[in-house]
Amino acid sequence: MTSKKLVNSVAGCADDALAGLVACNPNLQLLQGHRVALRSDLDSLKGRVALLSGGGSGHEPAHAGFIGKGMLTGVIAGAVFTSPAVGSILAAIRAVAQAGTVGTLLIVKNYTGDRLNFGLAREQAQAEGIPVEMVVIGDDSAFTVLKKAGRRGLCGTVLIHKVAGALAEAGVGLEEITKQVNMVAKAMGTLGVSLSSCSVPGSKPTFELSADEVELGLGIHGEAGVRRIKMATADEIVKLMLDHMTDTTNASHVPVQPGCSVVMMVNNLGGLSFLELGIIADAAVRSLEGRGVKIARALVGTFMSALEMPGVSLTLLLVDEPLLKLIDAETTAAAWPNVAAVSVTGRKRSRVAPAEPQEALDSVAAGGSASKRMALVLERVCSTLLGLEEHLNALDRAAGDGDCGTTHSRAARAIREWLKEGPPPASPAQLLSKLSVLLLEKMGGSSGALYGLFLTAAAQPLKAKTSLPAWSAAMDAGLEAMQKYGKAAPGDRTMLDSLWAAGQELQAWKSPGADLFQVLTKAVKSAEAAAEATKNMEAGAGRASYISSARLEQPDPGAVAAAAILRAILEVLQSQGV
């Protein structure tokens, strides 16, 4: 089965993609009759060297995203994963020559089709009297034994675009740029890894991987890598990649030694999430610095993709100060990141957090009967939530990501760990405040924020008094805060429904002579009834509000959890005979 793609047609997708980039970038122009994009200010390049690159489409933002002052003059694009036509390459060379440039450097990735087509266009241009040189970039570090075809051209080619562009912008001649670029290319290596393949529009995936397999050393055209490894952690995979890239027995290794400086590129091959990309980047920084390697610059993002391939490549370029100045030189290329000209290694990466404000001393000693009763209540709440984890997750799947039980269990485990540190405060205000901070930090999700808001607000009326009317006022304050910031109202099918129902019953505590257990028992029953009633409500807030009410046949998991917490509190207090 062919994969789904958002295209107008398979045949026209490369043209449409390039047209879209040019349409949104006033600094670019298309060359009529060709799949070629050029700087719109070609006339400003008179007397300077032009830089042309390109290859098959499907590697976006490469190569057209790197057109601009300080990088490429133009790009010739082929169909997806297909070398560009000789006629278009020659047309691009002629166009920049007619603009008054003093020569053209073709920057070509080491693939047979690219070498042949760019090479043929170069020969024809030279026959016309146009000065043209060509550098073939092979930065692949996958193969331990070099084959006749040499190393494949991968994401490191983008760094060559940058170095050559800075030299050309500085007015360096064609011969010298060619010489320096060839030297830089020898001090560079790239290695890719992927969780699965990609698929050319209109085609099936190019290879298949088992659920527990990862492809190591693959190219950027969907071709398989040098070997398959078992799925592992990001740290383990990054270590394996760097070990392979720097192994001196590997004929295509990068000669990275302790004490040397590198530019590191962490390149998304197209379908990796930004979350995973950040994890890989962190692992790479830690691993390299652990080897004594200084990371002079770190570039993280999508630079040279392979359509939607969910993978990443690491590129290492050995650098000195003169080369770093070329990397740091200004460019207007849209896809080049805004990287600070500051070394990554040696920079302080954290600052001390502000100290917590001093709290008033607990008027009731922690560890006393009240504190022990608080601990029993919390332990019962925790065991209740842990026991409900799977049930709450099942209820939550109808409305979203199915993690309500997991979120509440995370809160329960955090509370248990906190209780191990010592007895909880006996003061209700301090207890609720402590729990608020804990849940905000550890629980996560909107539930953590809502419980944190509720407890923070509820703690305020209890600072002066802990009478039954004060507890009723605390419930009112908590509910008001939840509604103010959560924007939910009773009847919106949220956790508020259970708490609101309980809060209405707790109003009775404000009357003289009110009975603690009689009112609390009614409040718990009302909360449970309200939770059950949410199955008949149309969601008006939260993630469930985006789901058709016809699909919500179960009660709201947040409301169920809130009612269960109240039930647990009641049962412990009854057992203690408070």
Q: Residue 114, annotated ligand binder?
A: yes
Sequence-separated (6 or more) residues with CB below 8 Å from residue 351: none
Facing residues of 316 across strands? 189, 264
Q: Which amino acid is at 125?
A: A
Phi/psi of residue 190, nearest 5 degrees: -135, 145
Return the closest-CA partner of residue 268 out of 35, 414, 24, 61. 61
Separation in Å, CA 117 to CA 34, 84, 317, 372: 15, 7, 28, 81
Are 74 and 41 contacting, i.e. CB atoms less than 8 angstroms apart? no
Long-range contacts of 355-361 (CB under 8 A, 24+ apart): 359/430, 359/433
Gap between the Cα atoms of 230 and 243, Å rounded: 16
Q: Let me know: does 271 contact 310? Beta carbons within 8 Å.
A: yes
Measured CA to CA, the distance from residue 446 to residue 440 in angstroms comes to: 10
Q: 113: annotated binding-site residue?
A: no
Helix (H) or strand (E) holding 213: strand 213-216
Q: Are 269 and 220 in contact (CB under 8 A)?
A: yes
Which region, left, alpha or beta, applies to residue 301 given φ > 0 means left and ψ of -120 to 50 means alpha? left
Amino acid of residue 181: V
DSSP 8-state symbol, 24? T
In the residue annotation, 34 being an active-site residue is answered as no
Two tokens, residue 476: 């009112």
| Annotated binding residue 408 | no
- Residues 112 and 75 sit within 8 Å (Cβ to Cβ): no
Q: Which of 221, 253, 391, 408 is catalytic?
A: 221
Residue type, 531: A
For Cα atoms 39, 45, 46, give the angle at the middle one, nearest 5 degrees: 140
User: CA-to-CA distance for 544 and 398, rounded, in angstroms?
Assistant: 8
* Residue keyed to tokens 């957090």: 353
Q: Can you list the pairs that 522-528 forms with residues at least 24 positions away whose Cβ atoms lie under 8 Å?
A: 523/566, 524/563, 524/566, 524/567, 524/570, 526/501, 526/502, 527/498, 527/499, 527/501, 527/502, 527/562, 527/563, 527/566, 527/567, 528/498, 528/563, 528/567
Q: Find residue 55's DSSP bridge partners.
A: 77
CA–CA distance, 527 with 86 (Å, rounded to integer) = 75
The answer to whether 55 is annotated as binding is no
* Residues facing residue 236 across a β-bridge: none
Q: Is 59 annotated as a binding residue?
A: yes
Query: Any idea how long the chain is?
Result: 578
Cβ–Cβ under 8 Å, residues 552 and 539: yes
Q: What is the DSSP string of 370-419?
A: HHHHHHHHHHHHHHHHHHTHHHHHHHHTTTSSS-HHHHHHHHHHHHHHHH
Query: Is 270 one of the annotated binding-site residues?
Result: no
Residues comprising the binding site?
Answer: 56-59, 109, 114
* Binding-site sequence positions for substrate: 56-59, 109, 114
Active site amino acids:
221
